[in-house]
Amino acid sequence: MTVEIMILMVVFVGLLVLNTPVAVCIGLAAAATIVSLGEASGSYVFAQRISSGIASFPLLAIPFFVFAGVLMGEGGMARRLTNFAAVLVGRLPGGLAYVNTVTCMLFGSVSGSATAAVSSVGSSLIPEMEAKGYKREFAVALTATSATTGLLIPPSNIMIVYAVVAGNVSVAALFLAGVGPGILIGLLIMLVSLILTLRSGAKQEGVAESELPTFGKALIGAFPSILLVVIVLAGILKGVFSPTEASAIAVAYAFVFCFLVYREISLTRLPEFLLRAAKTTAIVMLLVGTSQAMSWVLANERVPQTVSNAMIALSDNPIMILLLINVLLLIVGTFMDMTPAVLIFTPIFLPVVTALGMDPVQFGIVLIANLCIGLCTPPVGTCLFVSCGVGKTTIAKVIAPMIPFFIAMLIALLLITYWPALSLTLPKWLGLM
């Protein structure tokens, strides 16, 4: 390990321990390392890497998708998706648990945000589940894990970030590659819910028939939200518009339905929504810029090549190397949020897996699935914290009910890792690979 890499690690970890924002940790660590390289133009290099890191056309999709997600969450789309999910699976014994999962899958996909799914879906369904006989901690754990499926089912902001960092990876191919894994995780979570419901013996009711709208009414209410995903994917696949243009169309679509059709929010709240979207976008862009500076340092010190050679020298068995990468990413996910983890570890691990013959599209799904688990684990589990806040309980009480869902997600992760067809069949079938 070179002196420069030691400086990078010491500054980054030291600031992280001091609870410094991750973007600042990454930026200062990269700046300190560039200065230590003795570059006369170190400050110029640092600034140039940040600016070039965010000067990417696909990244323009992020603020639009974020804004569209805010509008959908506030404009009544989440409630209509809940009604549709209730009609589909709510009549079953323990049906509210399935309603929770299906709604998170649907809303997470149209909003592209796991935390938005937790707050929008959890605020209505967690109290309702508790009133129908479910334990509060179970409902909180279910909501936190179910919400992560929306990061795999397109459109997904984190897939756009990965495509930019990985380079020469099709966003459309990534979008389609996440459909199968996202549905698989949702189904396994529902299976765990069924098993726990049967084992508990408690009266955990489904949705009463009198509380359900007719199928036609529920479908009409949810149809605009579902249609948005179809429009975005079909438009990208047919070449009608790029992912960035699709995100702008999503904003216009959400604006029309939330403000003009549903009329559940007023135009006076538009500045509030714009500010929320701008804050989220600013955080993401700062992370992208500083991470690109760190990536330059890592590339300059040949860290990706060193890690790749070390792993291949450790074992020539692809199964063991992929298992090791998964373990490392699971550890990373416990203390680092998803976006910086993707930005930092994609350049390190992508050369390793491509040397093993794994497609970069499949690795993107493996990486995101790994970090989705991290969103539900302390100490930095965003979905876990938001879900506990919405459910008005503590993390300590939720950890035990969360374990069966963790196991389900780990099983799904192994299938995603060692069964390439799960991710790649759909994009190959549609000629994107």
Statement: residue 210 has pLDDT above 80:
no
Q: For residue 184, is pLDDT > 60?
A: yes
Does residue 369 fall inside a structural domain? yes
What is the DSSP annotation of 350-391? HHHHHHTT--HHHHHHHHHHHHHHHTTSTTT-HHHHHHHHHH
Round to whole Å and give the CA distance between 404 and 327: 18
Across all residues in the chain, what is the average pLDDT?
Answer: 83
Do the domain assignments include residue 6?
Answer: no
pLDDT surpassing 70 at residue 391: yes
Q: Is residue 427 predicted with pLDDT exceeding 70?
A: yes
* Alpha carbons 172 and 249: distance in angstroms, whole number: 16
The span from the CA of 188 to the CA of 16, in Å, is 34
Separation CA 12–CA 286 (nearest Å): 16
The angle subtended at Cα 337 by Cα 336 and Cα 340, nearest 5°, is: 90
* Domain-located, residue 162: yes
- With a cut of 80, say whether residue 346 has pLDDT above it: yes
State the pLDDT at residue 389: 83
In the chain, the number of structural domains is 1
Kindly state the average pLDDT of the residues 72-85: 78
Residue 411's pLDDT band (cuts 50, 70, 90): very high
Residue tagged 């940040």 (tokens): 50
Q: What is the mean pLDDT of residues 52-79?
A: 79
Check whether 202 has a pLDDT greater than 60.
no
Q: Is residue 36 in some structural domain?
A: no
- Residue 277 has what pLDDT? 85
- Would 226 be classed as within a structural domain? yes
Does residue 7 lie within any of the structural domains? no
The pLDDT confidence band at residue 424, using thresholds 50, 70 and 90, is very high
Q: What is the DSSP letter of 214?
A: P
Segments forming the whole domain that contains residue 51? 41-429
Structure tokens at 326: 């998964």
Q: What is the pLDDT of residue 368?
A: 94
pLDDT greater than 80 at residue 321: yes
Min mean pLDDT across 44-58, 171-185, 192-206 is at 192-206
Q: What is the pLDDT of residue 378?
A: 76
Cα distances from 370 to residues 149, 228, 281, 346, 409, in angstroms, run: 12, 27, 23, 12, 9
What local confidence, expressed as pLDDT, does residue 363 receive? 95
Whether 285 is covered by a domain: the verdict is yes
User: Mean pLDDT over residues 140-154, rounded?
Assistant: 89
- Pick the closest to residue 158 from 142, 178, 141, 185 (CA basis): 178
Q: Which of 173-177, 254-258, 323-327, 336-340 has the lowest mean pLDDT?
A: 336-340
Q: Give the least confident one: 169-183, 212-226, 391-405, 418-432.
A: 212-226
Return the closest-CA partner of residue 112 out of 19, 235, 246: 246
The set of long-range contacts for 321-325, using a CB threshold of 8 Å and a minimum separation of 24, is: 321/352, 321/356, 322/353, 322/356, 322/358, 322/366, 322/417, 322/418, 323/417, 325/349, 325/352, 325/353
Q: Report CA Rg, the chain.
A: 22
- pTM for the full model? 0.83
The string of DSSP letters for 171-230 reads HHHHHHHTHHHHHHHHHHHHHHHHHHHHHH--------GGGPPPHHHHHHHHHHHHHHHH
Residue 3 lies in a domain: no
Q: Which of 162, 167, 168, 152 is nearest to 343 (CA)?
A: 162
Note the pLDDT of residue 243. 81
Statement: residue 189 has pLDDT above 60:
yes
